[in-house]
C-alpha cells in the first residue's frame, strides 16, 4: 500500500514512555498519518475494556427502548447539541437524503466557574436509566483527557509548543455521541441513496471514535478511492476535523469518510453501535491559518474565522440549526 494511503497504528504508551526515541517515532508516525490520510489508529488510549463495555451496554439498552420513550429526551430547540436526536434528522453537507441513524449527545460540563458555561445548553439525562449519567460523564472526561494528550503530540509535530492547544480546549464545546445505526430490515423501502452515514468531513479539531461493533467505516484517499478502516476492539480511530485542517492550511487532512450499508442482507438486519467524541475548542479560538503552514507552494486556503462562527455555519448546513 502506498504511504499516501496508509493509516498508521501507534501505541500511546510510546508517547509517554520517557524514551525519547519512542516518543519521537510516535510523533512522526502519528502526524504523518494525518498529513497523508487524515486518520490514525491508537492503542492504549485510556479507555479501559471495562468502561467500553459499560458504555455499549447502556447505549444498547437506551436505543432498544420504544421510540416514544426516547423522544422524551429530545429537545428540538437546542440544535441537536444535547440529548436524543431521532432518525432522519441529520443530513450530511451536500446531500438531500438524511442519514440512517439516531444518536444521543452529551456535552461539556463546566465545573470551575468559567463564564463560558453560559454558552452551553444543559445536558439531558434519561431519568429511567440513572447509570446512563454516571457512565456518560466518565467516558466524556476520559476522552477529553485522551484527546488533549493526543493534541499535544500533534502540536509537537507542527513545531508548536507542546501545550499550544491546552488553553484553547479547556472547557471546550466537545460532544460525546452515542450512535445507533438501526437495523435496515426492508432495504427496498429506503429512500434512494440513503446510507448509514453519507460521505462527510467532521467539523471539530479531532474526533476519537471507539468500538464500532460492525464493519462499514471507510475513508477516502487522495486519489478518490475508499479505504476500509478496520480496528481491533482495544483501539480507537482518530481523525482530523475541518477546524484543524483550516488551522494548518490543510497540512493535516480532514478526510472525507462514510459508513456504508452492509452488502449482506442478513447484516442489514443487525444494528451497529459506535461512540465518537468530537473534540471542539472554545468558541473564541482563532482558526486563522498558522503562518508556518502558509508557503508559496501552499498559499492561504481559508478566510479568517473563529471556532464558534465556523460551528454555527456548519450546524445550519447540516440542518440541525
Q: Can you give the CATH number for the domain in which 288 is found? A: 2.60.120.330
Q: Total domain count for the chain?
A: 1
Is residue 1 over pLDDT 50?
Answer: no
- In the beta sheet, which residues pair with residue 103? 85, 179
> Tens digits of per-residue pLDDT, 186-240?
555 666 666 666 677 899 999 999 865 556 788 888 888 898 888 888 899 999 9
Count Cβ atoms below 10 Å from residue 15 Cβ, excluding itself: 22
Count CA atoms closer than 13 A to 80's CA, side-chain side.
20
> Tens digits of per-residue pLDDT, 167-190?
999 999 999 999 998 877 655 566
Q: Which residue has the higher pLDDT, 262 or 27?
A: 27
Q: What is the pTM of this model?
A: 0.91
* pLDDT score of 12: 94
Structural domain containing residue 272: 3-317
Across 11-30, average pLDDT: 95
Three state DSSP letters for 35-89: HHCCEEEEECCCCCHHHHHHHHHHHHHHHCCCHHHHHHHECHHHCCCCEEECCCC
Tracing cell 486556503 back to the chain, one arrives at: 301
Nine cell digits for residue 274: 459506535
Across 261-272, average pLDDT: 71
* pLDDT score of 250: 97
Amino acid at each position: 500500500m502506498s504511504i499516501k494511503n496508509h493509516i498508521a497504528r501507534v501505541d500511546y504508551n510510546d508517547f509517554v514512555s520517557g524514551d525519547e526515541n519512542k516518543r519521537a517515532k510516535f510523533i512522526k508516525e502519528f502526524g504523518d498519518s494525518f498529513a497523508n490520510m487524515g486518520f490514525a489508529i491508537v492503542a492504549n488510549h485510556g479507555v479501559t475494556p471495562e468502561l467500553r463495555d459499560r458504555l455499549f451496554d447502556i447505549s444498547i439498552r437506551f436505543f432498544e427502548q420504544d421510540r416514544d420513550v426516547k423522544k422524551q429526551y429530545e429537545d428540538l430547540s437546542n440544535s441537536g447539541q444535547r440529548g436524543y436526536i431521532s432518525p432522519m434528522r441529520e443530513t450530511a453537507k451536500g446531500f438531500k437524503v438524511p442519514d440512517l441513524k439516531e444518536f444521543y449527545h452529551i456535552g461539556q460540563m463546566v465545573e470551575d466557574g468559567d463564564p463560558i458555561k453560559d454558552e452551553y445548553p444543559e445536558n439531558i439525562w434519561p431519568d429511567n436509566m440513572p447509570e446512563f449519567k454516571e457512565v456518560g460523564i466518565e467516558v466524556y472526561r476520559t476522552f477529553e483527557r485522551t484527546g488533549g494528550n493526543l493534541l499535544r503530540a500533534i502540536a509537537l509535530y507542527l513545531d508548536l509548543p507542546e501545550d499550544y492547544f491546552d488553553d484553547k480546549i479547556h472547557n471546550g464545546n466537545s460532544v460525546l455521541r452515542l450512535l445507533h445505526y438501526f437495523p435496515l430490515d426492508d432495504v427496498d423501502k429506503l429512500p434512494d441513496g440513503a446510507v448509514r452515514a453519507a460521505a462527510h468531513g467532521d467539523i471539530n479539531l479531532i474526533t476519537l471514535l471507539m468500538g464500532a461493533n460492525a464493519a462499514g467505516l471507510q475513508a477516502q484517499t487522495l486519489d478518490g478511492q475508499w479505504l476500509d478502516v478496520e480496528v481491533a476492539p482495544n483501539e480507537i480511530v482518530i481523525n482530523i476535523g475541518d477546524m484543524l485542517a483550516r488551522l494548518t492550511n490543510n497540512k493535516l487532512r480532514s478526510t472525507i469518510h462514510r459508513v456504508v450499508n452492509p452488502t449482506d442482507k442478513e447484516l442489514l438486519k443487525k444494528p451497529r453501535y459506535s461512540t465518537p467524541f468530537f473534540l471542539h475548542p472554545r468558541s473564541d479560538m482563532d482558526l486563522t491559518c498558522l503562518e508556518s503552514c502558509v508557503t508559496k507552494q501552499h498559499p492561504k486556503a481559508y478566510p479568517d474565522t473563529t471556532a464558534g462562527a465556523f460551528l454555527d455555519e456548519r450546524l445550519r448546513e447540516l440542518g440541525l440549526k
